[in-house]
Structure 1
Amino acid sequence: MNSKNKKIIVIVIVVCVVLLLVGTILFFKNANNNKSEVESMKKEAQKNTALSPEKLESITNNVTRVEDYVEPGKNTLEVDKIQGFTTKKSVKNSTTNQKDKKSNKDDKKSEKVELSDSNLIIEKVGSYTGNYLEDGSDEPIEKVAAIIISNTSDKMLQVGDITFKVSDKENATFRVTNLLPHTSALVLESNKRKYSDKDDYSYGNVVNAYLDAPDLLEDKFEVIKENGNLKLKNKTDKTYKKVYVYYKYVQSGGAFMGGITYRVPFENIEGKKTVTSVANHFSANTSVIVDVQIAEE
């Protein structure tokens, strides 16, 4: 092989090597570009479909709550499961003398609460930390006085105003409305009074009004539940000028949350038609319709 042919072969080999290197570089570059593009698309998709922290927290809380929620009724109350509520617990010692036994008996005696209305029972007195619902403000609060109250009658407690003379000069007041028969509610002090072990909750005076167990008028209306909205479907051919739907929020532990009852008005409900009203506090999973009333014309 002469020198001229050798040079040609060397040039061909060099060109092939260069082309191979260029091809390899372009391949990896395109692959990286594609990978970057895919990652960019993934991030964009995640950005577009991601829930806001507030929305995610709301959904998470609802899922957690739904598992713990039991609709209030007879024998469903479990005070230990009520979120945010703390009650005074007696201290147990490894050794107990006669003086301690007497003290424990006095403590148990002082924890008993008597009400002027024998149909109502105070299950526990304590403090609540969470959102204040009694005025609809949802304001964050800490250690506000709270009671767990049960209606043992066969009628609905339409309104119950309870006053405790907790000290020589001060009162603690609580209001509960639309408490169904044989159900319980966590009720917060009306003036956001802080709870103190020194306050006297041994006797409460009650001013009350009862109604027969409510009729949800299911033969006339269907209430369709949505988060933040309620729909009222008129099953009849008659037009109703105004209908009120009442609902309460449900607390874990088989109790209503708050003495407050929310009321949603519906107007001019024509026969066989459906009307929608805003219900800001309503949750399809954690609220209960307690009454439906046709307004008097």
Structure 2
Amino acid sequence: MKKIFLIIISTILISLIGLGVIGYYVEKDEAAQAQKNKTEGTIVKEEDKEESKLYLDVDKLDINKIEGYTPAKSNEEGLVANMTLPYSIPNKNLDILSIGQYEGKFVEDGSDDKKDNVLAIVVKNTSDKTISSGEIKLRKIGTSKSIKFIFTNLKAGSSALVMESTGEVNFNGEDKYVYISSNVNTEDSTSLMEDKIEVTTKDKNITVKNLTNKNLNTVYVYYKIVTDGNCYLGGITYRAKFENVKGEKSVTADTLHFSNKNSEIIKIEQFSTK
């Protein structure tokens, strides 16, 4: 009888211990899962943040906040380097808003070479169309050589800090300039091809997904760098190329200049559908 009693007691103790152990691991797993969910939630949030689209706000231009740029000061007559600013270029829907000195990466040739003192201007597209390409020529008084400022893909109302095209012309506060000429090409609208292509981005990667069942031989994604002050940095437009984007498939490119933090996708083009 005593033996039977001991067996019963032992069984009860083992059951209680077992329940305790099972209870401990259930709580631990739930806590781990809760922590995992919390962590996963953070990751998703960060990815959402990374993949959010950046758009330049054309109504919030602040020239004094453009990184690396120092506007030239006006003289007693209100002239800046001999120019009345803003200078509206006749029949071109272009304004030169500022002229001054840029220090930082020289982006106009894609080299990103460090420059200490480059002549630069802030140009605004005052039309309701995108300027696909444009060029402004100035001349420094006392010289015969023209100075070029080249820019591409300026959407309506947007502005760009455009550096002198060669990066070899320095800014001097004593220099005076005159406007010579300009050329502008416009397009009524640009497309992101959202009916055919889905674009997602993360860090420096751009991924294009073909939403159709037809192969897209070549897809180009164009983007510009947005700097502080709601202004494009440089006249340059970067382009990422995607080849052989098959129907309903995705292709990812690791770019040199794109970043979710400071890049705006301007337009997408597709060629040779088959």
- For this structure pair, what is the TM-score category when the shorter chain's length is used for normalisation? 0.7 to 0.9
Distance 1:144 1:133 in 2: 11
Q: 1:190 to 1:77 in 2, by over 3 A?
A: same
Give the superposition deviation at 1:72: 2.2
SS at match of 1:295: strand
Distance 1:269 1:277 in 2: 12
The answer to whether residue 57 in structure 2 is matched with residue 79 in structure 1 is no
Which amino acid in the other structure matches residue 256 of structure 1?
Y
The answer to whether residue 253 in structure 2 is matched with residue 277 in structure 1 is yes
Give the superposition deviation at 1:182: 1.0
- Report % sequence identity: 36
Which amino acid in the other structure matches residue 160 of structure 2?
A
* Contact 1:159–1:178, Cα closer than 8 Å, also in 2: yes
Give the superposition deviation at 1:282: 0.4
SS at match of 1:219: coil
> In structure 2, what is the equivalent of residue 177 of structure 1?
152
> In structure 2, what is the equivalent of residue 293 of structure 1?
269
The answer to whether residue 101 in structure 2 is matched with residue 127 in structure 1 is yes
SS at match of 2:56: coil
Question: Which runs of 5 or more structure 2 residues have no equivalent in the other structure?
Answer: 1-49
> In structure 2, what is the equivalent of residue 138 of structure 1?
112
Pick the structure with more helix per residue.
1
Task: Map 1:50-89 to 2 at 5 A.
Answer: 71-89=55-73
Which amino acid in the other structure matches residue 234 of structure 1?
N
* Contact 2:72–2:80, Cα closer than 8 Å, also in 1: no
Aligned mate of 1:161, from 135, 138, 159:
135
CA RMSD of aligned residues (A): 2.1
Distance 1:106 1:187 in 2: 20
> In structure 1, what is the equivalent of residue 166 of structure 2?
191
Give the superposition deviation at 1:200: 3.3
Q: TM (normalized to structure 1)? A: 0.68
Aligned mate of 1:216, from 192, 214, 233:
192
Q: TM (normalized to structure 2)? A: 0.74
> In structure 1, what is the equivalent of residue 123 of structure 2?
149
SS at match of 1:80: helix
> In structure 2, what is the equivalent of residue 16 of structure 1?
none
* Contact 2:82–2:177, Cα closer than 8 Å, also in 1: no
Task: Map 1:202-213 to 2 at 5 A.
Answer: 202-213=178-189
Deviates more, 1:122-131 or 1:162-171: 162-171
Distance 2:79 2:226 in 1: 34
* Contact 1:73–1:184, Cα closer than 8 Å, also in 2: no
Pick the structure with more strand per residue.
2
